[in-house]
Amino acid sequence: MRLVEYLDKGASLGPDRPCLTMNSETRSYRAVRDASVDIASALQGCGVEAGDRVAVLSANDPLALTCVFGISRAGAVWCPVNPRNEAVENRQLFELFGCRFLFFQSKFADLVDRIRDDLPHLTELVCLDGDVDWATAFDEWLSANRGSLDESRRPPDGLCMLAGTGGTTGKPKGVRLTETNMMTSTASALMSYPFGERPRYLALAPLTHSAGVLTFPILSLGGEVVIMPAPDLAEFLRLIEVRQITHAFLPPTVIYGLLDHPDLDVTDLSSLRCLWYGAAPMSPVRLEEALTRIGPVLGQLFGQTEAPNMIATLAPADHFRADGSVATERLSSAGRATPLTSVAIMAEDGSFPPTGERGEIVVRGPLVMPGYHENPEATAEVSRFGWHHTGDIGYLDDDGFLFVVDRAKDMIITGGFNVYSAEVEQALYAHPAVKDAAVVGLPDDKWGERVTAVVQLRSGRSAGGDDLIAFVKERLGSVKTPKQVEIWTDLPRSKVGKILKTDIRTTLNQ
């Protein structure tokens, strides 16, 4: 299925039903479908061919999402661009992808202006919501180019999306995602989580990432996507109650903010069927709190750009034992492999260790990308032994539940012992004063690397470094206990909210 077919499927179930909503404006399936047809015909009218790359640079916005479906309908390839990227990273992505066309919001005009002269392939610039001297206004562009539409055009090899890997270290890589990859992700979501008829999905997180991919199963069921143009937890809670939201996605750090929000316990959350969490490990202590205060609706998804969202899932019911009690032993799990994906643990030599032993998490199946864009060396490296290598260390238990222990690059070797930073972080999260934590290895003459923790405390709570060291030592023993703990007011984060351990190491080494 092309991406636009999820929209068309929803339209077939009720063309006058609500499709995209933001603020007080709701667009029906008929309106969104017709707009995508107009966009597709205008793209073809201005010379966009099958397989051409078309980028969208926008905050969460209904018109920007409609452009994605127009791109797909025209037979072009969608290139989502994170609006939080620095200009140099976006320039690298545009150059790598060979983008010839860009839709952008006026708030990002300065960013585009800084890079456009360096991108000779980028010949068409269309501003979605205003007038920019060197770009074409959306309505003007649409009127000038709209005409007949050839919907038979499709990109070579079924390519539908080119996504950047983020580029937190070195140049970003481009992930080639096909219609089969996205269909597998959508089908896996529909098989793994509770939906029902006409779900209503609240999109707070950026639609350029996991939150955007999760709109496809919603639309395929004729559901409504309620879009938040900017993150606001008070508004998020209000919309759940007023709009009777059934589904939403939040990174763990945002859920922590939700748990600390004064409106949480006075908001009616009874409409929620599934609150997805993912993109980073979540504290089991805070997850148990969320299950109690938000409800038995938390659902984890584990994936990466190269295998979008659905490598493994921990459905809401999996958070509980048969007797209804919280399955605390499972709260640090990423869940079981989805039905259409195979997951295994692999040693460095390509062998598979016994159940329960740690190794790299590897994946194969139709969810996995065919490779990196114009980077055969990186593709070969990540595809060793016929499996996709995630770069995560983990293990499988006897029931098939996957536990992600750490990123391979974040493992610390101290005194000859392997210490997984995520395990130490989870121990710190159990302390009532700790809001967030990051554990890294720093060079040490005696230990090789010393385990070092940086902690952000919860508002109104206090704890000292010695207190936290004693707390972890009681739970993990002396080898895994940090030799050094620092308290920071905030931790450096990426554009999608992940803690930047590279920045932490750099600061601590100064």
- Decide if 232-407 and 411-509 have a common fold: no
State mean pLDDT over 204-218. 91
- The token duo for 100 is 């010839």
State mean pLDDT over 23-42. 97
The arrangement of secondary structure in 411-509, i.e. its CATH architecture, is 2-Layer Sandwich (3.30)
- The token duo for 135 is 């770009």
Asked whether the beta carbons of 437 and 454 are under 8 A apart, the reply is yes
| SS3 readout for 241-291 | HHHCCCEEEECHHHHHHHHCCCCHHHCCCCCCCEEEECCCCCCHHHHHHHH
pLDDT band at residue 169 using 50, 70 and 90 as cut-offs:
very low
pLDDT band at residue 210 using 50, 70 and 90 as cut-offs:
confident
pLDDT score of 182: 97
Q: Residue 402's beta-bridge partner residues?
A: 335, 396
Residue with the larger pLDDT of the pair 90 and 236? 236
Across the chain, what does the average pLDDT equal? Answer: 93
pLDDT score of 496: 64
- Please give the CATH number for the structural domain made up of 232-407: 3.40.50.12780
pLDDT band at residue 167 using 50, 70 and 90 as cut-offs:
very low
Q: Please check the confidence at residue 168 and state whether its pLDDT lies above 60.
A: no
> Which residue ranges make up each domain of the chain?
4-179, 232-407, 411-509
pLDDT band at residue 170 using 50, 70 and 90 as cut-offs:
low
State mean pLDDT over 411-430. 85
Which tens digits make up the pLDDT trace of 301-337?
A: 999 999 999 999 999 999 999 999 999 999 999 999 9
- The token duo for 206 is 């950026």
State mean pLDDT over 408-420. 80
Torsion over CA of 78, 84, 90 and 94, rounded to 10 degrees?
Answer: 10
The reply to whether CATH 3.40.50.12780 applies to domain 4-179 is yes
